[in-house]
Homo-oligomer: A and B are copies of this chain.
């Protein structure tokens, strides 16, 4: 086997590259499923799985009875396809930064000790999001050994072997409290977009609880769904 990964991943990767490079221009029809089957030497199952992934990323439009067409070249800012803040900012060609407010190990009476990190996340140098994360052990100890000003905690943990099997996101809106306002440079009471996240490992055990508050004038979440 030449390339790594499953068949449907290889097909998805190839088609993604061709869309990005303009081999399949925006608005153009993609090859039919049977043509892709012939080209990649696979059956319809992997091809369909790959196309479903591209549709979820907003890259293609699929309609019964007609060829799939290219919708755009760049995937939408995925909440659905989870991307850490730093990686997302850099993928849009901007500069990400971090200002750590607090790193602490805490133990509540009768509870396990946890590690708390509070950071201001910067977008081109401007405070755009206030992140409050709580890590359980043993992940918390890993975080204590990381320079939290240097970049993505998530990417660091992935590199250390931590598996983010599922991430639950909950979105709502809150009024900025005085602490939020001070760190983000806005008025107290101003509306903020709040994303609460719970990250779990492959056993379903939660190891990170996060409360991220975004300035809605600087960051919005977008996604495309197909009906």
Residues of A within 8 A of B (CB): 27, 56, 58, 61, 63, 66, 69, 71, 76, 78-82, 158, 163-175, 189-194, 199, 202-204, 214, 216, 219-227
Having A61-B202, A82-B227, one finds 11 other A-B pairs with CB under 8 Å, namely: A69-B204, A163-B227, A167-B224, A167-B225, A167-B227, A169-B224, A170-B221, A171-B171, A172-B193, A172-B219, A173-B192
Q: Which of B69, B165, B175, B194 contacts A227 (CB 8 A)?
A: B165
Question: 19 A-B residue contacts at CB 8 Å?
Answer: A27-B204, A61-B165, A63-B165, A63-B203, A63-B204, A66-B202, A71-B166, A81-B225, A82-B227, A164-B227, A168-B223, A170-B222, A171-B222, A173-B173, A173-B191, A173-B193, A173-B214, A175-B190, A189-B189
Indicate if the CB atoms of B191 and A175 lie closer than 8 Å.
Answer: yes
Which chain B residues lie closer than 8 Å to A227 at the CB level? 82, 158, 163-167, 199
In whole Å, how far is A182's beta carbon from the nearest beta carbon of chain B?
18
Indicate if the CB atoms of B204 and A173 lie closer than 8 Å.
Answer: no
A189 CA / B174 CA spacing, docked (Å): 11
Indicate if the CB atoms of B164 and A191 lie closer than 8 Å.
Answer: no
Q: Which of A71, A164, A172, A190 has the most CB of B within 10 A?
A: A172
A168 CA / B81 CA spacing, docked (Å): 15
Indicate if the CB atoms of B71 and A226 lie closer than 8 Å.
Answer: no
Which residue of B is nearest A193, CB measured? Answer: B173
Indicate if the CB atoms of B220 and A170 lie closer than 8 Å.
Answer: yes
A56 CA / B69 CA spacing, docked (Å): 24
A217 CA / B120 CA spacing, docked (Å): 25
Indicate if the CB atoms of B222 and A193 lie closer than 8 Å.
Answer: no
A71 CA / B163 CA spacing, docked (Å): 17
Indicate if the CB atoms of B169 and A223 lie closer than 8 Å.
Answer: yes
Which residue of B is nearest A76, CB measured? Answer: B168
Which chain B residues lie closer than 8 Å to A225 at the CB level? 78-82, 166-167, 169
In whole Å, how far is A160's beta carbon from the nearest beta carbon of chain B?
14
A163 CA / B81 CA spacing, docked (Å): 25
Known: A79-B225, A204-B61, A204-B71. A171 touches B191 (CB 8 A): no
